[in-house]
Amino acid sequence: MDNNTLHADVIVIGFGKGGKLAAAALGREGKRVVLIEKSDQMYGGTCPNVGCVPTKALVHHSGKRRPDDSPQEWFEHAVGEVQALTSLFRAGNYDAMNGADTITVITGEASFTDPHTVAVGKGSDRILVTAETILINTGSAPVIAGIPGLRDSSRLVTNVDLIKNTTLPGRLGVIGGGYLGIEFASIYHRFGSQVTVLESSPRILGREDDDVAAAAEQILTDEGVDIIASTQVIEVRDEATETVIVYEKGGRRHTLTVDAVLAATGRAPVTEGLDLGKAGVRTTERGAVAVDEYLRTSQPHIFALGDVNGGPQFTYISLDDSRIVLDQLLGEGKRSTTDRVAVPATLFMSPPLATVGLTEKQARADGRNIKVARQNVADIIAMPRAYIVEETRGLMKFVIDADTDQILGAALLSVDAQELINTVTLAMRHGITASELRDSIYTHPSSTEAFNDVLDAII
């Protein structure tokens, strides 16, 4: 072989959570690992660079702005702070991987040439890497809806663009009222933007129960976010200094003038350019890499971890994917995606909305015999922390199996919900009943002790 060919035990394509954890563990076991990342701005993956870390940091900074702070100056300061943080994390991720004796990081675009060979780069800089085992961890990217004029608009932004742009849009139009759209609507309104959310469904957060979604919507609208549901965006049209969004509602056409348009209509697996066909790797109808419950692709020596395999798009799922793959490569080979019970999610509006398991409407549609425990945060006597930190908005709701007392699901719209949901999830995974959770001893004053009251409030 020529000097432009590397031989490794394992190739990892993509520097995301699952890929880097698997690479580190395999490297510690003496495996020769080559980790390939397309961009030097993405060491560590989506979360520390353009996802969880910067967005949640912006949530924090937006809440610190005082009424007399200049929105633009405060926003520019916040973005600078966030970028410094992500740069620190990015460098740390790179050094941790590339500093290991058994791991080599290569920056460049990867594509398969055959089932065991990946090419990186082009022309004279092209490197071929061969390995017996390959992990695909290329993540996902924002989807731009096929609305006339949207893709070509000079004022179109994705969530990735917004967290890097130091100019605060005076008027922000958000297309999509799901988790991503609502999170950014909340962030940018608190920074000082005039935010309008356009949602095609009758209500934002359509996956949630109506009472939970209505409570979240009420918090947003009370703060000043405009939410227009049951709309169809017809066209996005750039003008000299602003952009016009044309939408239809109730059989009539309306226009919304904005300074930026956020496309928040979902994310799709990144497989373009990988030449998966040359490796014999199949994809699903939605473009994800097809995998079995052990995350093996149609080629048994190739695995796919994280968003690219079409599973839940959460960093912690990518982390768990690495456990499954490592169990296949280094362990007993028993771990699988079927082991997962109760996967939580959090929408970081203010206060956050955290959910797990079944909604009430899902449980009733399944024909389950259920009881529901629900209370508004302001009415939970055992939760003084909400008053202490001056955040009494929201509600807590549990869906409980009436026959077994097992918790089937929960929706917590409250201060500290992102932490509380982990306790509920652990209870669900280990068969702790609603009564046991209700009667447990919690520290005081804490948010967790709200469970003492809420789980007694059957409606």
Burial (0-12, 13-18, 19+ Cβ within 10 Å), 275: middle
Active site residue 77: no
From 77, 254, 301, 444, active-site residue: 444
Cβ-based neighbour number of residue 277 at 10 Å: 10
Q: Cα 459 vs. chain centroid, distance in angstroms?
A: 32
> What are the strands of the beta sheet with 260-263, ordered from one edge?
156-157, 260-263, 171-175, 194-198, 226-228
* Alpha-carbon span 342 to 360, nearest angstrom: 15
> What does the buried/exposed string (b/e) look like for 324-358 if buried means 16 or more CB atoms within 10 Å of the residue's CB?
bbbebbeeeeebebeeeebbbbbbbbbbbbbbbbb
The amino acid at residue 328 is Q
Residues annotated as catalytic (active site), given as ranges: 444
